[in-house]
Structure 1
Amino acid sequence: MTQHIIKLGEGYGDVYELITLINEMPHRVQHLLVLHTNKDGQDMVSFAAIMKPTSQGQFLPIYLCLEGMPKPQEGQSHTRYKAFNEAAEKVGVNLIEFDVPPSTRYHDESLFFQQLIAVFRLNHLLPPI
């Protein structure tokens, strides 16, 4: 089985693309994640969707909007965070939250993605290869 992170982008619009993917394929959504990090002194969030493997080819995509939004302050919620949470409720999946290091800590973004995949496996969010 191939497990691969597909980066949608870092912008605000990319979150709506991820939400559209979730809404269009609710039967494939396995886990929805909010990744918290501190990038360049600012608390940021990333959103991710782990999908169920395809029937042909056994490809398991992990869609990711990377470090594109400031983390909402305690007691506050920004529109995209709220929309992502609503999408999770709509498909009946609980949000899972992790603290992760920023992607800039890694020499190459692919190394960061490998680290995320390892963390997801260790937490039984992804099956072993």
Structure 2
Amino acid sequence: MIQQFIELGQGYGDIYELCELIKTNEHRFHNAFIFTANHDGVSVASLAVAFKPSGESKFMPIYICREGIPYDEEKLSKRIEIFKHAILHAGQRENILEIKHSSIFSEKNQFYQYLIGILRLNHYIPPMQ
């Protein structure tokens, strides 16, 4: 199983695209994530959704809006509320994970490999086959 992150953007208008992907691919929905990280004393969120492979494919896409949304657990932003509503409408729940901020990695690819490792380790996505 090949899992790969597909970055949509920083999370402003991209949240609506992510929610539309959830709606139109509800039958492929696998898991949803809110990744929180601290960067220079500010908590930010990345929103992501993993979909099951299409047909006979062994490719699992994980769409993400990376670190563009301020995160306050007590007062969620409108974008996070929209995301959570789309997930609930699909009959699912989000998984909230605290992670390292992408800026500590020298390359974006390393950051995504780190996330895939966390998701596999916690059985949120299938292991590599």
Query: Shared topology, TM-score over 0.5?
Result: yes
Query: Which aligned pairs between 1:24-39 and structure 2 lie closer than 5 A?
Result: 24-39=24-39
Cα RMSD after superposing both structures: 1.1
Query: Which aligned pairs between 1:21-100 and structure 2 lie closer than 5 A?
Result: 21-72=21-72, 74=74, 76-100=75-99
- Matched residues in 1 for 2:127 and 2:11: separation? 31
1:69-96 deviations in Å (ceiling 9; x for gaps): 000352x222111111101110011110
- Matched residues in 1 for 2:2 and 2:11: separation? 27
Aligned length: 128
- Matched residues in 2 for 1:62 and 1:56: separation? 17
Report what 1:125 is aligned to.
Answer: 124
- Matched residues in 2 for 1:102 and 1:24: separation? 30
Structure 2 residues not aligned, in runs of 5+: none
Q: Which moved more, 1:91-100 or 1:9-18?
A: 9-18
Report what 1:10 is aligned to.
Answer: 10
Q: Which moved more, 1:119-128 or 1:50-59?
A: 50-59
Match of 2:106, SS? coil
Match of 2:13, SS? helix
Structure 1 residues not aligned, in runs of 5+: none
Provide TM-score, normalisation by structure 1: 0.95
Match of 1:12, SS? coil
Provide the identity percentage: 37
Provide TM-score, normalisation by structure 2: 0.95
Report what 1:19 is aligned to.
Answer: 19
Letter in 1 for 2:65: C
